Chain A
Amino acid sequence: AQKITQTQPGMFVQEKEAVTLDCTYDTSDPSYGLFWYKQPSSGEMIFLIYQGSYDQQNATEGRYSLNFQKARKSANLVISASQLGDSAMYFCAMREMSAGGTSYGKLTFGQGTILTVHP
């Protein structure tokens, strides 16, 4: 079973509008972290935002916010006031901390969503 599911292969948004990128996850581990990364065409993975499984409030970092719905196992990324430079691939990832063993510290990534911002 997929641990991280990103159902939107591609998304389009108008410049200055907000956009939501979907992410659902599957884990039985009570302790986990959720991350969003941006990957421009250059290939570098840029860390955007983190949400811990025990965090009571949704994480925010500038124009990025994470809509964390624990019961539904979703961790959607909201980008407000989109900019042309936001056009990139976006990955949702999870780290399960109780797994231990050979999975210690590993991040599991989804398939990604390509975001295109139109002027």
Chain B
Amino acid sequence: DAGVTQSPTHLIKTRGQQVTLRCSPISGHKSVSWYQQVLGQGPQFIFQYYEKEERGRGNFPDRFSARQFPNYSSELNVNALLLGDSALYLCASSLYPGQNSPLHFGNGTRLTVT
């Protein structure tokens, strides 16, 4: 079975531009989360979607938005990019957002903002 797939794998953007990152969850998983991982740190929670509704939001500015589609895939959008947005963006899926449902992560999208 395919794992969580993310595209693109790498991306270089200029300050002020907009970017869209894509994620396909494991088949049957209805919950998708997005995390930002800056070099040398642990991942930071951005969003969680379950059954196509936003269920959780981390401490990120409104420049960050996301959505989940009827097939449970998801997109993360970042507007007005800043140098500090350079990071590895990880998408994770789980069966449900419950306590004992582990997140299964994709390989991530490495975003570089110049």
Contacts and interface: CB of A to CB of B under 8 A. Distances in A.
Interface in A14-68: 31-33, 35, 37, 42-47, 50, 52-53
Contacts, number: 75
Interface in A61-119: 91, 93, 95, 97, 102-112
A95 to B, nearest CB: 6
A45 B94 CA distance: 14
A110 B42 contact: yes
B92 A45 contact: yes
Contact of A108 (B45, B50, B92): B45
Contacts of A105: 31, 33, 48, 50, 55-56, 94, 97-98
B43 A44 contact: no
Instruction: Name B's interface SS.
Output: strand
B16 interface: no
Given A105-B31, A109-B43, A97 B98 contact: yes
Interface of B: 31, 33, 35, 41-45, 48, 50, 55-58, 88, 90, 92, 94, 97-100, 102-108, 110
Contact of B103 (A4, A44, A107): A107
A102 B56 contact: yes
Contact of B56 (A33, A50, A103): A103
- Which residue of A32, A53, A105 has the most chain B CB atoms within 10 A of its CB atom? A105
Contacts of A95: 99
Nearest to A98: B99
5 closest A-B pairs by beta carbon, nearest first, are A105-B97, A109-B42, A45-B105, A104-B56, A106-B45
A45 B90 contact: yes
Contact of A106 (B41, B48, B106, B108): B48
Contacts of B100: 33, 50, 52
Nearest to B9: A43
A47 B43 contact: no
A44 B99 contact: no
A44 B37 CA distance: 11
6 contacts: A4-B42, A33-B99, A43-B110, A45-B92, A91-B42, A105-B33
